[in-house]
Amino acid sequence: MEKILKTMNILYIEENEKYNEVVCDALRFKCNNVFSAKNLRDASAIYNNDSLDIIITDIVFNNKTIGVNFIKNIRSINKTIPIIVISAVDSTDDIIELIKYNLTEYIKKPIQLSKLKDSLFECVKRIMEDGNYIINFGDNIVYNVQKNILSKNDNEIELTLNERKLLNYLLVNKNYILSQEEIMHFIWADKFDISESAFKSLISRLRTKIGKKSIKNSPGNGYILEINK
């Protein structure tokens, strides 16, 4: 479950700068891809421009519980994304209102990091239920991360061990450009005579299977995975 969590994009929304920093640092121990916002305008921009898996938010901004409306708006367009609320609010009315929007967890401040970890694992569990943690590459090509199965039109596409290792490594680092050297070291760490042609052949084979536009080459920098939202 920790391996799956590493691949996910998490948005954390908290207006208190220090609290935001502390929680984001804690989140990055569990997940490589953490987005931070200190207001709901920036949070909405991140939501609209990045493929998110989990949202964690306070509901109090500028001394008003306007975060409830933010959650309501998210739910109007996305019924399933896991949402965790971390807040000092203990108003029964506000909490009852939040229950309508299918929260994964409501965590009372001051936060216990062990509670946050358990909540994140619950998010992963919900996403993975019935094999629903699916990466969509377009053209009906999908990858079930939990089961390590690539398929097109429900027909499984066979992956070699190195192709699967490469795909999972690109997924874990899906927001980062990886150099050829980094990828080669990960795939062939115990070998010293791997040629550049072997590396390019591996990239080419995986591109053929997941879609040629899914692995982008940044000349002089490396490679990055592009995933459909």
Asked if pLDDT for residue 84 goes beyond 90, the answer is yes
Examine the domain organization and report whether 197 and 141 are in the same domain.
yes
Question: Cβ(68)–Cβ(94) under 8 Å?
Answer: yes
Average pLDDT, integer, range 62-90: 93
Whole-structure pTM value: 0.65
Number of domains observed in the structure of the chain:
2
Q: What is the CATH number of the domain that holds 205?
A: 1.10.10.10
Q: According to the model, what pLDDT value does residue 49 have?
A: 80
Please indicate, yes or no, whether residues 117 and 32 belong to a single structural domain of this protein: yes
Pair 167, 191 in one domain: yes
CATH number (domain holding residue 92): 3.40.50.2300
pLDDT at residue 212 above 80?
Answer: yes
Q: Which of 61, 95, 130 is the last residue of a domain?
A: 130
Full residue range of the structural domain in which residue 181 is found: 134-225
Given a cut of 90, whether residue 167 has pLDDT beyond it is: yes
User: Confidence band (pLDDT; 50, 70, 90) for 105?
Assistant: very high
**Same domain for 115 and 179:** no
Same domain, 154 and 79: no
Question: Which tens digits make up the pLDDT trace of 142-155?
Answer: 888 767 889 999 89
Least Cα distance to 119 among 106, 132, 138, 100 occurs for 106
Which of 130, 145, 165 is the last residue before a domain boundary?
130
The verdict on 105 and 176 lying in the same domain is no
- Does 185 score more than 80 pLDDT? yes
DSSP-derived pairing of the beta strands 149-152 and 105-108:
unpaired
Q: Which of 122, 147, 121 is nearest to 132 (CA)?
A: 147
Query: What is the predicted pLDDT for the residue at 228?
Result: 65
